[in-house]
């Protein structure tokens, strides 16, 4: 038995603040026994706060145009063989109507940083969705924008914003992104979103090129301080035609381990079992739920464009109709003792233990 590892696990489970060195030891000394204990604790915490409810977010991939050139991304600007598309407003609204009829009460508009999606256009679209479906939440995942842009989107009715921090290490950030992109600007965006009242989502890839246990420890320390409302992590999967196409993929087991750590570290967080997990492992999303996750994001995009939004290779569920995907997820969740619920799935702040005097 690794006494140091289990001492750190005990500190984490007791709600004590961990230092970066402790996080690094936790990451670099993963064992089957430690992972099993963390998964059990994470599931207990999640069940205490959220029960066996799993929230679904209807993902609408609005565009695969992007002005950025991130080295890992399959829709990067320089990818000459990417088959580009851009949904029009009517197509997006049709996706919402279909999703609403299937029980979805959160819509996630995700896309590359496409200049065609101006503030004016997005504000009008948000207003249309909210007018037609006032009981829904709108999540945006459209990259880095100005504080003024985020302000307008919030006033228009957007509720949440997902923006992975990617890495909390400045030098590692520079290894993953071109010089035109800035670690400081990414952090500025996250703080602006928090200041403006969005429910904010951060997160990182697991097993990204050049990533070390120290980098992951810095990620965990950052998340411990920032306390996002949502946290999206998934294994790195290489994308053909990118500078990292021949890099090894990340580990499902390490991702599951980190999911458990994140649930314990941030008990109330909305934590997805990502499509990337399901792409790497046929039972990946179910395993993610069993390790503390409580969100799944099935695809509501038109079937004809799903394969074109190829952030990485071999993405699952690109050929399924939305109704088929929903039925499939219901069956998968029921099989492991959980149930999909049809509400907005907001963060629940129910305390998990009595306040200490």
* Tokens standing for residue 187: 């952090």
**pLDDT surpasses 90 at 114:** yes
**pLDDT surpasses 50 at 356:** no
Range 212-238 average pLDDT: 98
Q: What is the pLDDT of residue 357?
A: 34
d(CA 176, CA 83): 23
For residue range 127-155, list pLDDT tens digits in order: 999 999 999 999 999 999 999 999 999 99
Q: How many residues does the chain have?
A: 357
For residue range 19-52, list pLDDT tens digits in order: 999 999 999 999 999 999 999 999 999 999 999 9
Q: What is the pLDDT of residue 350?
A: 54
**pLDDT surpasses 50 at 355:** no
**pLDDT surpasses 90 at 267:** yes
**pLDDT surpasses 90 at 317:** no
Is pTM beyond 0.85 here?
yes
d(CA 317, CA 328): 10
d(CA 13, CA 175): 34
**pLDDT surpasses 70 at 187:** yes
**pLDDT surpasses 70 at 352:** no
User: How buried is residue 88: exposed, middle or buried, by Cβ count under 10 Å (0-12/13-18/19+)?
Assistant: exposed
The residue assigned the tokens 């090129």 is: 209
Q: H-type helices in the chain, by residue range?
A: 3-13, 20-28, 32-50, 89-101, 119-132, 147-156, 170-176, 183-195, 213-226, 252-265, 275-280, 284-290, 303-306, 322-335
Q: What is the pLDDT of residue 310?
A: 80
Range 294-299 average pLDDT: 94
**pLDDT surpasses 80 at 248:** yes
Work out the pLDDT band at 315, boundaries 50, 70, 90.
Answer: confident
SS (H, E, C) 282-329: CCHHHHHHHCCCCEECCECCCHHHHCCCCCCCCCCCCCCCHHHHHHHH
Q: What is the mean pLDDT of the chain?
A: 95
Q: What is the pLDDT of residue 354?
A: 41
Distances (CA, A) of 9 to 46, 117, 144, 226: 17, 45, 35, 21
Least confident stretch, 197-201, 219-223, 353-357? 353-357
Q: What is the pLDDT of residue 353?
A: 46
Q: What is the pLDDT of residue 218?
A: 98
């Amino acid at each position: 038995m690794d006494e140091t590892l289990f001492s750190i696990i005990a500190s984490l489970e007791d709600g004590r603040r961990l230092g970066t060195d402790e996080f690094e030891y936790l990451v670099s000394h993963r064992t089957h026994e430690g992972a099993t204990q963390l998964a059990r604790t994470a599931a207990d915490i999640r069940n205490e706060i959220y029960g066996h409810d799993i929230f679904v977010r209807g993902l609408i991939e609005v565009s695969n145009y992007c002005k950025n050139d991130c080295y890992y991304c399959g829709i990067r600007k320089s990818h000459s063989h990417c088959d580009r598309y851009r949904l029009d407003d009517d197509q997006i609204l049709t996706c919402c109507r279909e999703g609403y009829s299937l029980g979805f009460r959160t819509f996630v508009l995700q896309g590359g940083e496409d200049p065609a999606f101006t503030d004016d256009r997005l504000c009008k679209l948000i207003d249309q969705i909210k007018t037609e479906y006032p009981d829904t939440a709108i999540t945006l995942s459209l990259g880095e924008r100005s504080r003024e842009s985020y302000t307008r989107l919030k006033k228009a009715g957007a509720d949440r914003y997902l923006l992975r921090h990617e890495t909390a290490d400045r030098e590692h950030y520079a290894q993953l992104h071109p010089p035109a992109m800035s670690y400081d600007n990414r952090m500025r965006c996250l703080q602006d979103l928090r200041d403006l009242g969005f429910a904010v989502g951060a997160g990182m890839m697991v097993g990204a090129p050049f990533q070390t246990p120290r980098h992951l420890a810095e990620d965990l320390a950052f998340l411990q301080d920032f306390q996002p409302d949502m946290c999206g992590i998934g294994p790195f999967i290489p994308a053909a035609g990118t500078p990292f196409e021949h890099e090894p993929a990340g580990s499902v087991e390490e991702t599951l381990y980190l999911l458990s750590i994140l649930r314990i570290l941030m008990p109330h967080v909305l934590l997805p079992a990502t499509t990337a997990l399901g792409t790497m492992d046929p039972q990946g999303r179910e395993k993610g739920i069993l390790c503390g996750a409580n969100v799944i994001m099935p695809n509501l995009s038109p079937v004809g464009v799903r394969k074109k939004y190829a952030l990485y290779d071999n993405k699952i569920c690109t050929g399924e109709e939305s109704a088929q995907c929903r039925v499939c997820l219901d069956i998968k969740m029921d099989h492991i003792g959980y149930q999909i619920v049809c509400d907005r799935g907001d963060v629940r702040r129910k305390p998990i233990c009595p306040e200490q005097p």
